[in-house]
Amino acid sequence: MKPYAFGVDMGGTTIKLGFFRKDGALIEKWEIPTRTENHGANLLTDIALAVLSKLAEKGIKTSDVEGIGMGVPGAVYNDGFVKPCANLNQWGGFDVATELSTLCKMPVKVVNDADAAALGEMKFGGGRGHKNVVFVTLGTGVGGGIIVDGKLVTGVHGAGGEIGHMKVKSGEVSMCGCGKKGCLEQYASATGIVRNTKLYLEQSGIESTLRQFDTLTCKNIFDCAKEGDIVAVNQVDEMTHMLGKALSNISCVVDPEVFVIGGGVSRAGDIIIENVKKYFLLYAFPATEDVDITLAKLGNDAGIYGCFTVVSD
């Protein structure tokens, strides 16, 4: 492998860039805004400029760079074609890898962003030392990445690891963003737990410190649960119950060594892990009980590390 490589993680608001040495050491990381106007017409030139000016700044030749690994918030086919991305104003519908490669004159590989984060956590974070890892990201939605024997399971429709849409509850009346009902995302995402808690507070007269917040957030709920507020405790219990049940079902399919829990909601910390473990054990097929459930370690950097992995492996 050549001495350097880039990892680029495209998010809805910022694009995170990492410049790596071939051993995986992060030399420098920085961000540029995600300009989604005109269906993101400037996105690839913005990235190319960022990459090439970093090389110019350091006086490093293109021929010393292995390439760019890039994560995008959408489905990726054949290592380069990206379906139009909802979070990027429908940017996509073309071979992103080839186009960026032409602009930068170096190899480019493109993957789904949750998959990139999964690879990053496997190689450098909470899944380090393992080759069979399930990464769960709890954010606005719930996403995932499935790694079997060191390789991503992307699925034939790009839906491998779409664990936010596993059905975990019967009798749900609200609809998930996907159009179906009872999806894990409706309970275990930040949006889900806030929605369910508000609904509960509206429908019950029970006292709760949660009533003091004008705009209730997921963090408020976890903070109040740690303080012992009974409504908050019950909501966290329900959320982790649904997540533990989903993980037990994932174990019956791919039987991993470790579940790595990341995303904004996971910043609540050990309270999530302890509760999820309890419910996982309630449901798990006995042979799969001996699995590690752990917090992600790389935070927002999981994506750039994973993108580096994609191009360096």
Residues in contact with a second copy by CB under 8 A are: 75, 132, 146, 148-149, 151, 153-167, 169-170, 178-180, 182-183, 245, 248-257, 282-288, 290
Terminal Cα distance for the chain, rounded: 9
- Least Å distance, CB 162 to a second copy, is 5
CB of 125 vs a second copy, minimal distance in Å: 19
Report, in Å, the least distance between residue 253 CB and a second copy.
5
Smallest distance from a second copy to CB 202, Å: 24
φ and ψ at residue 108, rounded to 5 degrees: -130, 135
- Are 87 and 71 in contact by the 8 Å Cβ rule? The answer is no
**Shortest approach of a second copy to residue 158 CB, angstroms?**
7
CA distance 69 to 8: 6
The conformation of residue 309, written as its DSSP 8-state character, comes to H
Cβ at position 284, least distance to a second copy in Å: 7
- Kindly tell me which of 27 and 159 has the beta carbon lying closer to a second copy: 159
Tell me the DSSP string of 22-68: TTS-EEEEEEEE---HHHHTTHHHHHHHHHHHHHHHHT--GGGEEEE
Specify burial of residue 142 (Cβ count, 10 A radius: 0-12, 13-18, 19+): buried
Q: Which residues neighbour 313 within 8 Å (Cβ) at sequence distance 6 or greater?
A: none
Min dist CB 148 to a second copy, Å, is: 5
Tell me whether residue 169 or residue 267 sits nearer to a second copy (CB atom).
169
CA dihedral for 166, 172, 176, 180, sign (positive or negative): positive
Give the number of other Cβ atoms within 10 Å of residue 242's Cβ.
Answer: 25
Closest CB to a second copy among residues 108, 168: 168
Calpha distance 106→179 (Å, rounded): 40
Burial of residue 232 (CB within 10 Å: 0-12, 13-18, 19+) is buried
> 162 or 301: whose CB is closer to a second copy?
162
- Contact status, residue 198 vs residue 216, Cβ threshold 8 Å: yes
**Nearest-approach distance from CB 270 to a second copy, in angstroms:** 24
Q: Which is nearer to a second copy, 13 or 170 (CB)?
A: 170
Burial class (CB in 10 A: 0-12, 13-18, 19+), 17: buried
CB closer to a second copy out of 42 and 90: 90
**Residue 132 or 191 having the CB closest to a second copy:** 132
Q: How far is the CB of 211 from a second copy (least distance, A)?
A: 30
**In this complex, which beta carbon is closest to a second copy, that of residue 52 or of residue 254?**
254
Residue 9: other Cβ atoms inside 10 A? 28
User: Please, which residue, 75 or 304, has the CB nearer to a second copy?
Assistant: 75
Structure tokens belonging to residue 8: 């680029």
